[in-house]
Amino acid sequence: SDEARPITVGSKNFLEQILLGEIAAQHLERRLGQRVERKLNLGGTLLVHKALVNGDIDLYPEYSGTSATAILNLVPSHDADDVLAQVRREYETRFHLRWFDPLGFNNTFGMVIRKADAERLGMRSLQDAERHPSGWVLGVGYEFQQRPDGLPSLLRAYALPLQGTPKVMDLGLLYRALAQGDVSMIAANSTDGQLLSPDVILLEDNRNRFPQYDAAFIARNQTIAREPRLATALQDLSGRFSDDTMRRLNHQVLVQHGRIEEVAGEFLRTSGLLKGPSSP
């Protein structure tokens, strides 16, 4: 639309998204040598997607599984490459949006329990968790509860003993509820920074049941046409992350209280995308 408008990066309203948005923004500023607008921390999948389609933002990070189920209403396959190909095709034809190559990490669901319980009961995996004597008090987010490849699939794969119905709550409150003892197992995300804390452990998904949530940037074709360097710049970020990298980045902000801008800049420096402090 407006030619003079700077490129605008969006993100959803949780930390990982904000970090990815900030990383992309700094990287693009550097590579394109122009100011980049940040609309980070927007309301959620619905709003960010609509804002992108509407042209209010030009790009944002998304997860393949989310796009497939929430936006495209597909039943996603368990194969990461299939899912990616599917969303890529559909986004291109339906929305004229370009799905870039994955960043390299998979933020899928992860069942987390207190370290103390794990040690007491001697559990490391979801298979072990099937033999909890009195049953788990499960805390979950809305999406995990709703998605057919979320909670229902989990319970089909693992005969987890449950105490009462799962408690559904805001993602941000899950770890608190776990620490507080309101629940004994939570369906968190596999890249949560809290997972580096010594108090909790992520149970291993031995049977590989969780859906694919490979993160990647999506951008508007129109913007890429206007600023072709955008494509190559975004492509630089692909494959630069791992589950562990992302967890550590989250942890640096969440637990060590690093500033998002600094954590993002530090990541760009150490990953070789940016050498030395930025200069005009």
Partner 1 sequence: MIPNSLLHELVTLTMQHFFLVGVSMLLAASVAIPLGIILSWRSGWRDVALEVVNVVQTVPSLALFGFLIPVPVLGGIGSHTAIIALVLYALLPMLHNTVTGILNVDVAVRDSATALGMTTGERMWQVELPLAAPTILAGVRIATVTTIGTATIAAAIGAGGLGVFIFRGLATVDSVLLLAGAIPAALMAIAADRGLEWVERALSRY
6 vs 128 by CB, closer to partner 1:
6
Span interacting with partner 1, options 8-16, 113-121, 211-219, 241-249, rule CB under 8 A: 8-16
Token pair belonging to 178: 């776990």
**Counting contacts by CB under 8 A, is residue 71 touching partner 1?**
yes
Minimal distance, residue 69 CB to partner 1, in Å: 7
Q: Which of 30, 31, 176, 240 is close enough to bind partner 1 by CB under 8 A?
A: 176
Minimal distance, residue 239 CB to partner 1, in Å: 26
**Counting contacts by CB under 8 A, is residue 77 touching partner 1?**
no
Give the whole-angstrom CA distance, residue 224 versus residue 261. Answer: 25
Which residue, among 247, 249, 246, 240, has the nearest Cα to 272 in the 3D structure? Answer: 240
Contact positions with partner 1 (CB under 8 A) in 230-259 = 253-254, 257
Cα torsion for 211, 21, 37, 226, to the nearest 10°? Answer: -60
List helix spans (H) across 92-165. 115-121, 126-129, 142-146, 151-157
Q: Which of 5, 34, 35, 44 is close enough to bind partner 1 by CB under 8 A?
A: 44
- Edge-first strand order for the sheet with 36-39 is 36-39, 7-10, 59-63, 215-220, 97-99
Token pair belonging to 195: 């997972």
Please give, one letter per residue, the 3-state secondary structure of 236-259: CCCCCCCHHHHHHHHHHHHCCCCC
**Counting contacts by CB under 8 A, is residue 101 touching partner 1?**
no
Binding site for partner 1 (CB under 8 A): 10, 13-15, 18, 39, 41-47, 49-51, 53-54, 56-57, 69-71, 139, 141-143, 145-147, 167-170, 172-173, 176-177, 180, 182-183, 253-254, 257, 260
